[in-house]
Chains A and B, each alone.
Chain A
Amino acid sequence: MATTITKTETLVGKRIRRKEDPRLITGTATYVDDIQMPGMHHACILRSPHGAARIRSINIKPAINQAGVVAVFIGKDIEAVGPVPCGASLPGLRVPAHSILAKDRVYYVGHPVAVAVATDRYIARDAIDLIEVDYEPLQAVSDPEKALEPGAPAVHPEWPDNTAFTFHQEGGEPEKAFKEAEVVVKQRITSQRLVPTSIETRGVVADYRSAEKNLTLYSSTQIPHLLRTLVAQMLGLAENRMRVITPEVGGGFGSKLNVYAEEALMGFVAMKIGKPVKWIESRRENFLCTIHGRGHVDYYEIAARRDGTVLGLRLKLIQDLGAYHQLLTPAIPTLSVLMMPGLYKFRNVIADIVGVFTNCVPTDAYRGAGRPEATHGIERMMDLLALELKMDPAELRLKNFPGKGEFPYLTATGLSYDSGDYAAPLKKALDMVDYHKLRNAQRDAKAKGRLMGIGISTYGEICAFGPSPATPAGGWESATVKIEPSGKVTVLTGTSPHGQGEETTFAQIAADELGVSMDDIIVLHGDTSIVQYGIGTFGSRSTAVGGPALYYALQDLKAKIKKFGEMLLESDDVTCSGGQCICNKTGKTIEFAQIAAASYRAMKLPPNTEPGLMATHFWEPPNFAFPFGAHIVVSEVDRDTGQVEIQRYVAVDDCVNIINPLLVDGQIHGGVAQGLGQALCEQAVYDENAQLITGELMDYALPKASTMPYIETGHTITPSPVNPLGVKGVGEAGTIGCSPAVVNSVVDALSHLGVRHIDMPLTSEKLWKLVRQGGQA
């Protein structure tokens, strides 16, 4: 429950209900599909039904002849439009030409082939059924391991080995570590393809004004400025004549951290027909054409001493890339490698990634982006090691953390973990579940034949993306703060929140710094013509990078306020806080609103000071931030149905200073739900012909209110030196910590049957079979 707010109290750290909610709970917010314009047309896209096929011919005549259809465009019409961009670069990376409509070949089910434009949504949908495409189906491949086999169908004929890149990283002396190890544990671990499934699908409205050569693109995106830069390039437009507006965005989770064919295609259509055009992705399209997440097959080996000291880690990572690179596709598995040691003192690591083309929709960033896969891998391996050594999994973990005094901790993969006390959240979580008592209860339950398990995961994550040298497109963030002549405050953030709540948390920060009421502050974002260039919202970065940018802009502004205060109070001994400046000698005060008015009226100015009250700061973070935590799951498998019941879910997270605990809880809950989805029910399944057979919500199981457990949250606070607010990100933490805790608990429940590992999702069918077959898969 939220607390009420008054002007005098400190707002950072309070459970304050959100400023963005009134429009959302009354149905008056504007999402992209809510936009209507005079003369607006509707577009519908015809997509490939084949995983791989040659296009022999396309006949658009039956469609174009329909009343209400104004245009149909196919591959040969869009020759002048640039390719869908890949922002990631790796040595030797093979980048297939990725045109916004297929030309002579299609590479995955859902590949856009033609676009029909009509006066009405229904007519556009009818029109694509009338386009005749003559396909010559080709052999397709959807399994990344099969794609690597000799003789596998080539996704791109020019690269018959289906290998987009290989990537090698090592640190320390891994070969020596494995040679000297007393125990080596190996396991193949998959992290299945997932569909991000924001409840709002993607959508675009494009409006081109030919007299001014201005294109306005309304898009449900997480990155308005980057989208403008890249789509302007694709369309050959002057960037300053293009405007991207991000209306309300109904969830992204990384799937809208991208530049999609349809965004440029709608710009192209609007320019061609001279009318505004709208395209709203159907749910089916969202499954087929919006990026998927994960898609790993990992081969792990862990080297250790008999006493449980970890020595080395080896990983062969096969990344299913899909048919193309989207914005960050090839970069995602490199994040897994960076995080592969988890929170443990592995001094010797070796990793090899193979990025594999398949006839599937591309994978890219989905909540956690590479870190859930890495955390799942290492946390499963730690449990396998504990099983092998007959050690308690909590004890094994506590033994291998770097100590509190070892920070900043340099990992064998080259990261510098900024700050941490990794034992603290684990110990707190163990206390919350009363671990020793719980183990006794488990022993009793198992003795009675019940399949009860306890699963632990600890996680660390790279967040606050990030230092610019480590990111493809700049990792800084920007903020502008304006005090208007009336004293009201406007914040412009370069982040692009879409549910995270920065309109509230940034107002809390600004209110505290300026000593004004939150009601007097408005936070604007997501319009490239209003907001200075920014990077966007993803990678748990908005508060951790956008927050400090705001903080520093506020400091600049406060310095300027003080100068005006000194001038107006005719004193050099002035303190400014709580919405006013006070002369320490006379006690005379002047309100910020009066200072603002004087600064714009500018009858008189302090020395070397410009009129007006506005400050902009672009903040470059010195490092990533590394939040961490521990999750514990108590589960029971129903012997008769294979159903997993989560009896307790405890999440203890250390994201350092919390701006708004209500919102942090919300992020953890939502993150856990997505981790639990992966652990228990979600899976994008392509058959051997590369048909997506889980292409609807009917076939793809999302967590529901009735299937989610109650989540108990706890926090520890370990100060971070990375930024002045002492904050780290929390958006992805829940997802990253979740899946291994769930799987570890279920494996623990079945370990006495000889079960060592189960790949996700832990469907009841899979577990029922395992129980029936005495642990044999």
Chain B
Amino acid sequence: MTRKITLKINGKSYSHEVEPRLLLIHYLREVVGFTGPHIGCETSICGACTVELDGKAVKSCTMFAVQADGRNVTTIEGLATDGRLHPMQEAFWNEHALQCGFCTPGMIMTSKELLERSPHPTDDEIRHGLEGNLCRCTGYQHIVNAVRAAAAKAGA
């Protein structure tokens, strides 16, 4: 038994027959081929799978693909436009906010949404805003620097 879903991913329309139990992350990665979002914990704790759904950061590992039917998804692959990095990507690069890079796509998606909600966050607000995303490499300090730098640049 499958169901047909139609949705926009990174600005392009896709339509597939999917099993109702197919998770959104598996749909994005294995059916459509956007492997930027990663699977770190399958329980929505680590945030490596974070994508934007209608402008809100969500964890795609605990959501079914059918729940995204008719909606708008942005993955990390959709951030850079015309070969130009999104300012948050640029900030992560400049500030050395990643090491192994596995949490990074989710971390960038969450950080981007964080600034959209709160353009001038304090360090405390950044740290709390990133609570749903785990990084085991950086100790978070350079990630906080990156978000702060991206906010400063946007405000400049």
Complex CA distance for A663 and B22, rounded to whole angstroms: 39
Give me 7 A-to-B residue pairs in the complex whose CB atoms sit less than 8 angstroms apart, sorted by A's number: A18-B96, A250-B40, A666-B99, A673-B139, A697-B41, A704-B130, A704-B131
Complex CA distance for A249 and B100, rounded to whole angstroms: 7
Selected interface stretch from A53-61, A87-95, A345-353, A496-504: A496-504
Q: A24-B104, A499-B101 are in contact. Are A665 and B142 (CB under 8 A)?
A: yes
Q: Is B48 in contact with A199, judged by CB distance below 8 angstroms? A: yes
Q: Is A36 in contact with B30, judged by CB distance below 8 angstroms? A: yes
Question: When each residue 197-220 of chain A gets 1 if its CB lies under 8 Å from chain B and 0 otherwise, what string results?
Answer: 111110000000000000000000
Which B residues touch A24, using CB under 8 A? 98, 101, 104
Q: Is A22 in contact with B93, judged by CB distance below 8 angstroms? A: yes
Which B residues touch A29, using CB under 8 A? 101
Q: Is B143 in contact with A250, judged by CB distance below 8 angstroms? A: no
Complex CA distance for A702 and B99, rounded to whole angstroms: 17
Q: Which 9 A-B pairs have the closest CB atoms?
A: A27-B36, A250-B102, A24-B101, A669-B139, A499-B100, A499-B99, A27-B76, A673-B139, A34-B35
Which A residues touch B48, using CB under 8 A? 199
Which B residues touch A704, using CB under 8 A? 127, 130-131, 134, 140
Q: Is A501 in contact with B46, judged by CB distance below 8 angstroms? A: no
List 19 additional A-B contacts (Cβ < 8 Å) besides A17-B93, A200-B38, A251-B99.
A1-B94, A21-B92, A25-B85, A27-B34, A27-B76, A34-B29, A199-B48, A253-B136, A283-B40, A665-B141, A670-B99, A703-B139, A704-B131, A704-B140, A705-B126, A705-B130, A705-B133, A706-B127, A706-B131
Q: Which of A28, A34, A199, A282 contacts B46 (CB 8 A)?
A: A199
Q: Is A500 in contact with B99, judged by CB distance below 8 angstroms? A: yes
Complex CA distance for A20 and B99, rounded to whole angstroms: 9
Q: Is B43 in contact with A696, judged by CB distance below 8 angstroms? A: yes
Q: Is A2 an interface residue (CB 8 A)?
A: yes
Q: Is A335 an interface residue (CB 8 A)?
A: no
Q: Is B46 in contact with A251, judged by CB distance below 8 angstroms? A: no
Which A residues touch B34, using CB under 8 A? 27
Tell me the residues in window 178-202 of chain A with beta carbons closer than 8 Å to chain B beta carbons: 197-201
Q: Show the binding face of B for A, using Cβ within 8 Å.
A: 19, 21-22, 26, 29-30, 34-43, 45-46, 48, 75-77, 79-80, 85, 89, 92-96, 98-105, 108, 123-124, 126-128, 130-131, 133-145, 149
Q: A27-B75, A27-B105 are in contact. Are A499 and B137 (CB under 8 A)?
A: yes
Q: A34-B29, A198-B100 are in contact. Are A251 and B136 (CB under 8 A)?
A: yes
Q: Is A250 in contact with B101, judged by CB distance below 8 angstroms? A: yes
Question: When each residue 1-43 of chain A gets 1 if its CB lies under 8 Å from chain B and 0 otherwise, what string results?
Answer: 1100000000000000110111111111111011010000000
Q: A25-B108, A705-B140 are in contact. Are A665 and B96 (CB under 8 A)?
A: yes
Tell me the residues in window 389-429 of chain A with beta carbons closer than 8 Å to chain B beta carbons: none
Complex CA distance for A36 and B26, rounded to whole angstroms: 13
Q: Is A672 in contact with B100, judged by CB distance below 8 angstroms? A: no
Complex CA distance for A703 and B137, rounded to whole angstroms: 11
Complex CA distance for A662 and B123, rounded to whole angstroms: 20
Q: Is A121 an interface residue (CB 8 A)?
A: yes
A167 CB to closest chain B CB (Å) equals 31
Q: Show the binding face of A for B, using Cβ within 8 Å.
A: 1-2, 17-18, 20-31, 33-34, 36, 121-122, 197-201, 248-253, 280, 282-283, 498-501, 662-663, 665-666, 668-674, 696-698, 702-706, 708, 710-711, 734
Q: Is A697 in contact with B139, judged by CB distance below 8 angstroms? A: no
Which A residues touch B76, using CB under 8 A? 25-27
Q: Is A706 in contact with B128, judged by CB distance below 8 angstroms? A: yes
Q: Which of B102, B143, B145 contacts A251 (CB 8 A)?
A: B102
- Which of A18, A253, A708 has the most C-beta atoms of chain B within 10 angstroms of its own C-beta? A708
Nearest chain A residue, comparing its CB with the CB of B108: A25
Complex CA distance for A216 and B94, rounded to whole angstroms: 36
Q: Is B89 in contact with A31, judged by CB distance below 8 angstroms? A: no
Q: Which of B21, B92, B102, B140 contacts A31 (CB 8 A)?
A: B102
Q: Which of A17, A25, A34 contacts B104 (CB 8 A)?
A: A25
Which B residues touch A702, using CB under 8 A? 134, 136
- Which of B19, B21, B93, B102 has the most C-beta atoms of chain A within 10 angstroms of its own C-beta? B102
- Which of B41, B45, B134 has the most C-beta atoms of chain A within 10 angstroms of its own C-beta? B41
Which A residues touch B79, using CB under 8 A? 26
- Which of A197, A201, A670, A672 has the most C-beta atoms of chain B within 10 angstroms of its own C-beta? A670
Complex CA distance for A533 and B138, rounded to whole angstroms: 30
Complex CA distance for A710 and B34, rounded to whole angstroms: 35
Q: A2-B94, A26-B80, A697-B134 are in contact. Are A666 and B42 (CB under 8 A)?
A: no
Which B residues touch A197, using CB under 8 A? 136
Complex CA distance for A282 and B46, rounded to whole angstroms: 13
Complex CA distance for A521 and B29, rounded to whole angstroms: 32
Which A residues touch B45, using CB under 8 A? 697-698
Which A residues touch B149, using CB under 8 A? 1
Complex CA distance for A662 and B142, rounded to whole angstroms: 9
Q: Which of A33, A283, A711 contacts B139 (CB 8 A)?
A: A711
Q: Is A670 in contact with B139, judged by CB distance below 8 angstroms? A: yes
Q: Which of B26, B99, B127 contacts A705 (CB 8 A)?
A: B127
Complex CA distance for A25 and B105, rounded to whole angstroms: 6
Q: Is A26 in contact with B140, judged by CB distance below 8 angstroms? A: no
